[in-house]
Chains A and B, each alone.
Chain A
Amino acid sequence: MHLEGEFTVAAPRLTVWQAVHDPALLARCVPGCEEAAQIGENSYRAVVKAKVGPISARFTLVVDIVEEEAPDRLRIKAQGEEGSRASMLTAESELALSDDGDGRTRVTWASDVNLSGRLGKYGLGLMKKKAESLSAEFVTAFSRRVETGEVVE
């Protein structure tokens, strides 16, 4: 499943760059994120709960930053499974930041997500709609928190 999008944040590029490295801030922006912690220099662990109608899943994810060129570009790999190992999720994402004038930053992102196991049986068409609406929720929350200066460190 391929997802992509772009959005602008009313904050300078360096601020946004710091924000996308801040697990505490991201945890509060990712819908359904129950916990997030840094476990290595470029490695994070997160527990995320997602729900589509009566179906819910709780994934434990390990997120690695595999490549970065500060403060422009970031490549992230996420891997995880449900507690019961019934479904596996892998995602490769790329994020690019650029100045958008007036101290604004444009964020362009793309993500390839694979889901296998019990949830893989479920319609991918619907998963994509759900992923799109979760992305939109994240963008709203992230922009608001960064713009109001809620960057933790």
Chain B
Amino acid sequence: MSFVLSPRTVEEAVGLLAELPDALPMSGGASLVAMKNARLIEASHFVSLAGIASLHGITATDTGLRIGGMTRHAQLAACDLLTGDLSMLRQAAGQIANRVVRNMGTIGGAVGNADPAADYLAVLACGDAHVELTGTEGSRLVAMTDYVTDWYETLREPGEIVTAIHLPAARPVPSVYRKLCRVPGDYATASVACASDGDGVRVAVGACGHGPIRSREAEAALRGNLRDPVAIAAFGAALADLADPVDDVRGTSEFRLRLIPRMVAAAISDLEGKR
């Protein structure tokens, strides 16, 4: 049996997690409760973050946007602040699972769980997002491109919670999230987030390794060559080289490696069409 605790502040929540070694933080519970029901996880207590006011909502900051960890997928899918190069986040949120899950699930929970096939990681890596992690020692920011360290392993220490996601302010240039999945709402077989950046692009590939794949080197080489199919193919191949996909029901590793250059080229072409 597990108990649910409902702290009212972040300090209280991280205090409980520090005190109870077998407790787990719970935000929306969309994945966590399903995993608990399948007896995949055990916890003495679930520390619910739902009642902590400071974790809810999206606010403009001096540098951009702060998205509270308890912000639901459905709120992001309908958020008017996510325009231009941040519209890919809105697109990704709207493609997660189904309406029930989008009403329950949160960005903090999804980032905390760090499922490699889930939709946010690629978008946040592409969008130069930072993850705000809070523990009893206080808060720290880590770049999304550094955050995932192995399969379901991240820089988040046990006892820390994802209190917010920070994004730079939206710029008025197009962005796109492309997801290949077996049926709408499935986890991605492969995904690509792509945002315009002057005469270049920022691109991150999802679901093809333990974390999102991004190469600033390859992006620099592509700069100024967005109309050159050879340069785009080389860019896609460079990202595929960094991938380490699994073989699973959604596709073989080989299939995913072939998808990457095609999906990257398609995403770049989407952006060219939106200019």
Contacts and interface: CB of A to CB of B under 8 A. Distances in A.
A123 B248 contact: yes
Interface stretch (A50-58, A60-68, A71-79, A141-149): A50-58
Given A53-B114, A129-B151, A130-B151, A121 B246 contact: no
B255 interface: no
B262 to A, nearest CB: 21
B41 A54 contact: yes
Contacts of B244: 129
A7 interface: no
Main DSSP-derived SS at the A contact region: helix
B246 A123 contact: yes
A146 to B, nearest CB: 26
Given A53-B114, A54-B152, A129-B210, A118 B39 contact: yes
Contacts of B39: 86, 118
Q: Point out which of B40, B113, B152, B247 has the most chain A C-beta atoms below 10 A from its C-beta.
A: B40
A118 B38 contact: yes
A83 B203 CA distance: 45
Interface in A123-147: 123-126, 128-130, 133
Given A126-B151, A130-B151, A133-B150, A55 B248 contact: no
A104 B24 CA distance: 47
Contacts of A130: 151
B153 interface: yes
Given A123-B248, A124-B248, A54 B38 contact: no
22 contacts: A52-B151, A52-B152, A53-B113, A53-B152, A53-B153, A54-B24, A54-B41, A54-B152, A55-B35, A86-B39, A118-B38, A118-B39, A121-B40, A122-B40, A124-B248, A125-B246, A126-B151, A128-B246, A128-B247, A129-B210, A129-B246, A133-B150
Interface of A: 52-55, 86, 118-119, 121-126, 128-130, 133
Given A54-B41, A126-B246, 5 more contacts: A52-B152, A53-B152, A121-B40, A125-B248, A128-B247
